[in-house]
Structure 1
Amino acid sequence: MKHIYLLRHGKSEWDLPYETDLERTLSRRGKEQSKALREYLKESRFEFDQCLVSPSERTLKTYSSLRKEILRFPKPEIRENLYDADKEDLLFVLHGLPSSTRSVCLVGHNPGLEELGSSLVLGEKEKSLFQKFPTASFLGLSFSEDSWKNLSWGSCQLVVFWIPGQIGKE
């Protein structure tokens, strides 16, 4: 049994000028969301063998916030190909994992994460499984095969979908 965890970064800062989108960091609200997520995950006991993180500042800060108090989480592996990835790109990343990896967390962006999670559960349908996949959301899926290469659309079961409460104002 394999486990896939998808984590969308916390709310990003839009009020400050950045040279590139990669440099945008977490807003005050995003930091609060990350803290709420950290509290949830501390109690949940989810574990990851690997954590693959987009190189954006907001994804790195979100995962760093979790690791600050959850020492069981592994060091992040920064993967350039997670930034701006669509569901097919993300599936390709998962197919490349070694069979020895039992659980992986992808920290990234929408719409790729939402589309990946929905397609892994429902198959390639038009509608999303989620009404919304907000910032700092955490999705857990299980996959009954031994090889990541067998991962396909519709092959996963939903384990958990956690959304941060309404923190701050939009």
Structure 2
Amino acid sequence: MKTLLLIRHAKSSWNDPDVDDFDRPLNKRGKQNAPEMANRLRTRGIVPELLIASPAKRTKNTARLMAKEWHYDKDAILLEDELYLCYASTFLKMITKIDDDIDTVAIFAHNPGITDFANYITQEIRIDNIPTTGVFAVKANIDSWKEFDSANKNFLFFDYPKAEVV
């Protein structure tokens, strides 16, 4: 059984219009939401064994803030250039490279690709937008990540900071 968490970066700052998109930092709300969402996942009994992130500043820092809450070594986060503003198909490419000893993975990326991929992998639910620090989770009854695309995936949950906690 494999669990995939798709996590959009936390809220970023637009205070400096001269900052390149890739280098935009998190704003105050983003810095608060990332640990909050990490704790919500832990409350659900989910702590990823592997974190893969876009190297964009806001995405990398979201992963680091969440990693801290999970006691995950921030230097062990895999930064993948291809995840920066990628298409949905790029996620599949990343997933097939994951070691089969790993059962739970979190991938941190950007819209629109992350929302497009979430809609691609499950027919059970359709979403218009994964908001900042949103988490879309699915489970697949597979032994190898290489089987992920063709496997039946079960939608687990969709959570984000402004959602009511049940």
CA–CA distance in 2 between the matches of 1:39 and 1:100? 24
Q: Which moved more, 1:114-123 or 1:141-150?
A: 114-123
Q: Determine if contact 1:47/1:72 at 8 Å carries over to the other structure.
A: no
Instruction: Write out aligned runs for 1:1-20 (5 A).
Output: 1-20=1-20
Match of 1:48 in 2: 48
Please tell me whether residue 82 in structure 1 is matched to residue 83 in structure 2.
Answer: yes
Match of 1:67 in 2: 67
Instruction: Write out aligned runs for 1:101-140 (5 A).
Output: 101-122=102-123, 129-140=126-137
CA–CA distance in 2 between the matches of 1:39 and 1:150? 30
| TM-score relative to the length of structure 1 | 0.85
Instruction: Write out aligned runs for 1:21-36 (5 A).
Output: 21-36=21-36
3-state DSSP of counterpart to 1:63: helix
- CA-to-partner distance for each residue in 1:43-79, whole Å, 9 max, x for gaps? 2321222110110110111112122232157731111
Aligned residues: 162
Shift, 1:88, TM fit: 0.5
Match of 2:147 in 1: 150
Q: Determine if contact 2:141/2:151 at 8 Å carries over to the other structure.
A: no
Q: Which moved more, 1:9-18 or 1:84-93?
A: 9-18
Q: CA RMSD in A?
A: 2.2
Letter in 2 for 1:107: F
Shift, 1:18, TM fit: 4.1
Please tell me whether residue 92 in structure 1 is matched to residue 89 in structure 2.
Answer: no
CA–CA distance in 1 between the matches of 2:31 and 2:128? 23
Q: Determine if contact 1:142/1:157 at 8 Å carries over to the other structure.
A: yes
Q: Determine if contact 2:47/2:70 at 8 Å carries over to the other structure.
A: no
CA–CA distance in 2 between the matches of 1:13 and 1:98? 35
CA–CA distance in 1 between the matches of 2:134 and 2:156? 14
Q: 1:153 to 1:118 in 2, by over 3 A?
A: farther
Match of 1:160 in 2: 157
3-state DSSP of counterpart to 2:65: helix
Letter in 2 for 1:119: Y
Shift, 1:19, TM fit: 4.2
Shift, 1:111, TM fit: 1.0
